[in-house]
Structure 1
Amino acid sequence: MATIKIKQIGSPIRRPAAQRKMLIGLGLNKMHRVVELKDTPEVRGTIARLPHLVAVID
């Protein structure tokens, strides 16, 4: 299965608790961290809800 690289570009400070939990669910918790996850609809949906905090790396 294909993978996708995600980088955290925004801080979770002063963000709703739900957005912080989504970042932790993606495996991110500090600025400029990069994680590689399976490219699933669930991961894509989470990324779509956090466009101001994460970026997809090619």
Structure 2
Amino acid sequence: MMKVTLMRSPNGRLASHKACVQGLGLRRMHQVVEVEDTPCTRGMVNKVSYMVKILEES
């Protein structure tokens, strides 16, 4: 599991990047969600790495 925080707004971003943020379960700024550390979610985090921050991995 890893904790991901939305640090920058998805407003004005590419539709695919907005979809990645939504797919991770992030809705609001500074919201923290815990997602499974799978290759799929890791790819989504890498795609929007400029908008999110990984807090911890376990």
Q: TM-score, normalised by structure 1?
A: 0.90
Who is 1:6 aligned against? 4
Normalised to the residue count of structure 2, the TM-score between the two structures is 0.90
2:48 is equivalent to residue 50 of structure 1: yes
Provide the residue aligned with 2:35 in structure 1.
37
Structure 1: unaligned runs, 5 residues or longer: none
1:26 aligns with 2:24: yes
Count of aligned pairs: 56
Which runs of structure 1 show a deviation greater than 6 angstroms over 4 or more consecutive aligned residues?
A: none
Q: Alignment identity in percent? A: 36
For 1:25 and 1:48, the matched residues in 2 are separated by: 13
